[in-house]
Amino acid sequence: MSDCIFCKIIAGEISTYKVYEDDDVLAFLDVTPVNPGHTLVVPKKHYNNLLDLPETEASKLISIIKKITPAVLAGVGADGFNLELNNGVVSGQVVNHVHWHIVPRLAGDGRELWHGRSYDEGEAEEVLKKIKSKI
């Protein structure tokens, strides 16, 4: 896709800090990292989001994520990580090319996850019923 920044990176039109590359997958450092070592993992073929991504491609990406994450963590001295995928604008997806974020976590890094809430009385059952009716 000609206007996709990740496709331009994959094509070599934009330079990046490559963490890993093979025929199907590219992993590179995020230019605006949450923490040092924040790495993006993308398929070389363009897919807008996770729901467009074929199972075989998803499997390859997860396999590479499992392969490189220990190196990312060791390289920056992190003890844990968040694996994040934003799917759709409302979720925070900025680039419409499916990608996972490997975000190294360090004790005291100040990063917060989401703020959850409890279901109201009977709400969980209603939500469950609606979801199951769509499967």
> What tens digit of pLDDT does each residue of 3-44 get?
999 999 999 999 999 999 999 999 999 999 999 999 999 999
For the beta carbon of residue 105, count every other beta carbon within 10 angstroms: 16
How many angstroms separate the CA atoms of 105 and 82, rounded? 7
Contact assessment for residue 44 and residue 10, using Cβ atoms and an 8 Å cutoff: yes
CA–CA distance, 123 with 133 (Å, rounded to integer): 16
DSSP-assigned letter for residue 37? T
- Place domain 5-134 in its CATH homologous superfamily: HIT-like (3.30.428.10)
pTM above 0.85, yes or no: yes
Predicted local distance difference test score (pLDDT) of residue 113: 81
Structure tokens at 26: 């590219």
CA distances (Å), origin 54, targets 31, 89, 110: 27, 21, 36
Question: What are the sequence ranges of the domains in the chain?
Answer: 5-134
* Active site positions, annotated: 99
Q: What is the mean pLDDT of the chain?
A: 95
Rounded distance, CA 20 to CA 29, Å? 10
